[in-house]
Amino acid sequence: MADDQVNIEVDGAPVKARKGEMIIRATDRAGVYVPRFCYHEKLSIAANCRMCLVEVEKAPKPLPACATPVAEGMKVFTKSPRAIGAQRATMEFLLINHPLDCPICDQGGECELQDLAVGFGRDVSRYHEGKRSVPDENLGPLIATDMTRCIHCTRCIRFTEEIAGIQELGMIGRGEHMKVRTYIETTVNHELSGNVIDLCPVGALVSKPYRFSARAWEMNAVPLVSPHDPVGTNLFGHVLRGRLMRVVPRENEAINETWIADRDRFSYEGIYSPDRLTTALLRRGASWAESDWESALGEAAAGLRARAGDLGVLVSPSCTLEELYLAARIARGLGTQNVDHRLRQRDFRDQQADPVFPGLGMALADVEALDSLLVIGANLRREVPILAHRLRKAALRGAQVAMLNPARFPHLFPVRAQLTSAPADLVGDLAAVLAAAAAATGKSVPPQLASAVGEARVTDAHRAATQALLSGERRAVWLGALAARHASFADLRALAAALAQLTGATLGRLAEGGNAAGAYLAGAIPHRLAGARAAARPGLTARDMLQRPLRAYLLLGGLEPSIDALDPESLRMLAKAELVVAVTPFASEEAKRIARVLLPMGTFAETSGTYVNCEGLWQSHPGAAAPVGEARPGWKVLRVLGNLLGLEGFDYQSSEDVLREVREACAGVKPAGYQGSHAVPRAADAIDGAARQPLVDVPMYQTDAVVRRAPSLQKTREGRTAAVTY
């Protein structure tokens, strides 16, 4: 027997338990259910609900299984008359002031109190006094409250304090008058706050957008993958008669644990936006004519074929791998390499050195084990909320985190060193950090960076950042979305790579959208084909395509260039094109301004497909909801378009056929990292005007077309925030 094991007995059967763990952990593992409300694996122990009282031999009173450590030879009885008596007693107390309004409660059918009341409650109440009623809280547009139902388990409070990292909910009053609420009347604003809806064992905290719209038992749960950020959060879509009613977490310890961001939870509302494109539209002069699929696709195919020599294909990084692959195939089938998903990137100088796909270079779960990290140009809580939570765990464990950002973003963990620099100074500051690292380690920087590093002015702040990075063994350097939007991204990356090399850190990149890694692997970039094979002659980058009018464009995935490419000017360019075919879920104002053909496409929840996350994990999901109106999954639209264009090999029967082809193309591809020899110029020689180019921090709920149309998210504080330009 291992040293850290003890033998206990649960209801007469021997059970092995880990030394010092609580009884409930051992019973859970042994498959013995002990009823509970306040206990939650991911939260601290409160032991306040008293539902998990069990009998322990020699103990004078029943003990809470959630807060009683096991001991060698301990005999636990979970179903003895004493244990059951204590549990029934607790249940009676919980129910006396509970409104028992299950028929009008959203939690009905998936309520822990309701479930356990069946087992431990009595049929008739013995309570004849008046019941307590509690005024409701307005916690904002996402969480609806019915505080009379609250059983004071404090899971929500512990969540905000321990997981979210900012205590937005608390307990005031005492005794019967104890209330869960925000201390002063305010909304709950944390980007993970929606998780309290799942945590609440009763119907006190429920989803405001979903409220009163369906019953748990009449919906089908379909697995989904979040398309909004490169984490690849696992979701369940709850579908009623083809309509996605709500989204809840799908537990995956390796990716998102049990949490999801509010963006993942409430974005589904955008699917049913009023400007949803439900039928193909063709421009006829100044107006739009509805069209059947056949003629619309015919017009699109003929128009694209006629302008194949001067065509650009722009795709959203939130599309599925299959859609991205087919879009790239269509571009190349028409003889052009002009295909790109990097719409917000500005600097492509050393794109040849790109890694096989942008990613962390490590598993998400390993982020928790990092000892030190330098984050360059990333507003983590906005870009990747779930990853920010992982990082918070690392930082609370003692990891030294340094930030190099255009502003001090409100992180909810200790940041050892904060370097704040204007976009124009970002390269210089990173060069200074590299110079400090070179000095501290006694190693030299690569020659092509020598002049930039040589002129860097190293201050204590740079040294502090270096010191943070050099502490500990497991180190990483991350480039975020802000870095990628920077006019000198190539310089930043070259310096970051050298810094990583010098310090033995893993270089990681947090790309935009849920499938940038997939876009790279599928060849939705102008310089590489599927499977990371170099294109013989690289095509135009997204930037180039948007800065000159080509004759024709194919846009995929609900693109709105002014925000998706952060360039209102690009709208004017696109409007000058002879033909823009937009395959899009939404008849957006921008699409209508520039396109001649609008083809309705299913959103992420209405198509089967695959997402590759930032650790390189391929995750496929089936289609959950029925596409709205005449809309069809993107891969189907592109397949028919390919057929009409007369391209070879577009006879896929399913998205799995497409996926198989991408897999074959990617077979044997090694996830090589950045291999650049990009020379960072001296400040004086920097690209003309680069320093003056604005750097835009896109708000969390502006990331992609679906999120932008989710009304509840837009009503939140973050949703009402304008983009900040540095």
Partner 1 sequence: MSDLESQYAARMNLTVFEPLKLERSWTLATYRSIGGYEVWERLLKEKPPREQVIDAVKASGLRGRGGAGFPTGLKWSFMPRASPVQKYLVCNSDESEPGTCHDRDILRYNPHSVIEGLAIAGYATNSTVAYNYIRGEFLGEPVPRFEAALAEAYAAGLLGKNVLGSGIDFDLHTFVGAGAYICGEETGLLESLEGKPGKPRFKPPFPANFGVYGAPTTINNTLSFASVPTILRKGPAWFASLGPANSGGTLIYSVSGHVERPRNIELPLGIPFADLLGLCGGVRGGRKLKAVIPGGVSVPVVPGEIMLKTNMDYDSVKAAGSALGTGAAIVMDETTCMVRVLERISRFYMAESCGQCTPCREGTGWMNRMLKRVLAGQARREELTLLLDVANRIEGHTICAFGDASAWPVQSFLKHYRHEFEYMIDHGGRSLASDTLGARAA
**CA geometry: angle 351, 514, 423, nearest 5 deg:** 50
**CA–CA gap between residue 243 and residue 528 (Å, rounded):** 38
**How far apart are CB 125 and partner 1 at their closest, in Å?**
11
**How far apart are CB 21 and partner 1 at their closest, in Å?**
14
> Which residues, including other chains, have CB under 8 Å from residue 289's CB and lie 6 or more apart?
281, 282, 283
Cβ distance to partner 1 smaller for residue 92 or 578 = 92
CB atoms closer than 10 angstroms to residue 99: 17
Cβ distance to partner 1 smaller for residue 13 or 184 = 184
DSSP state, residue 601: B
* Residue 151, amino acid: I
**How far apart are CB 155 and partner 1 at their closest, in Å?**
13
**CA–CA gap between residue 628 and residue 243 (Å, rounded):** 9
Tell how strand 597-600 and strand 579-584 pair up.
parallel
**How far apart are CB 18 and partner 1 at their closest, in Å?**
17
Cβ distance to partner 1 smaller for residue 51 or 404 = 51
Cβ distance to partner 1 smaller for residue 32 or 53 = 53
Cβ distance to partner 1 smaller for residue 125 or 547 = 125
Helix (H) or strand (E) holding 509: strand 506-509
Cβ distance to partner 1 smaller for residue 170 or 531 = 170
Cβ distance to partner 1 smaller for residue 131 or 533 = 131
Sheet holding 234-240, edge to edge: 220-225, 234-240, 243-249
**How far apart are CB 478 and partner 1 at their closest, in Å?**
33
**CA–CA gap between residue 377 and residue 392 (Å, rounded):** 17
**How far apart are CB 275 and partner 1 at their closest, in Å?**
49
Integer angstrom CA distances of residue 364 from 230, 297, 332, 626 = 11, 41, 34, 32
Integer angstrom CA distances of residue 20 from 1, 518, 542 = 16, 44, 57
Reading the block at residue 530, the tokens are: 């599927």
Cβ distance to partner 1 smaller for residue 64 or 557 = 64
DSSP state, residue 276: B
Cβ distance to partner 1 smaller for residue 154 or 714 = 154
Q: Is 512 helix (H, G, I), strand (E, B) or coil?
A: coil
DSSP state, residue 129: S
**How far apart are CB 95 and partner 1 at their closest, in Å?**
9
**How far apart are CB 98 and partner 1 at their closest, in Å?**
9
Reading the block at residue 225, the tokens are: 């993958």
**CA–CA gap between residue 289 and residue 299 (Å, rounded):** 13
Task: Annotate 316-348 with b (16+ C-beta within 10 A) or e (fewer).
Answer: bbbbbbbbbbbbbbbbbbbebbbbbbbbbbbbb
Q: Cβ(38)–Cβ(49) under 8 Å?
A: yes
Cβ distance to partner 1 smaller for residue 33 or 127 = 127
Sign of CA dihedral 501, 503, 506, 507: negative
Q: Which residues bind partner 1 (CB under 8 A)?
A: 45-51, 53, 60-62, 64, 67, 69, 86, 89-90, 92-94, 96-97, 126-127, 129-130, 151-152, 154, 171, 173-178
**How far apart are CB 169 and partner 1 at their closest, in Å?**
14
**How far apart are CB 451 and partner 1 at their closest, in Å?**
53
**How far apart are CB 92 and partner 1 at their closest, in Å?**
7
Reading the block at residue 446, the tokens are: 């690569």
Cβ distance to partner 1 smaller for residue 97 or 256 = 97
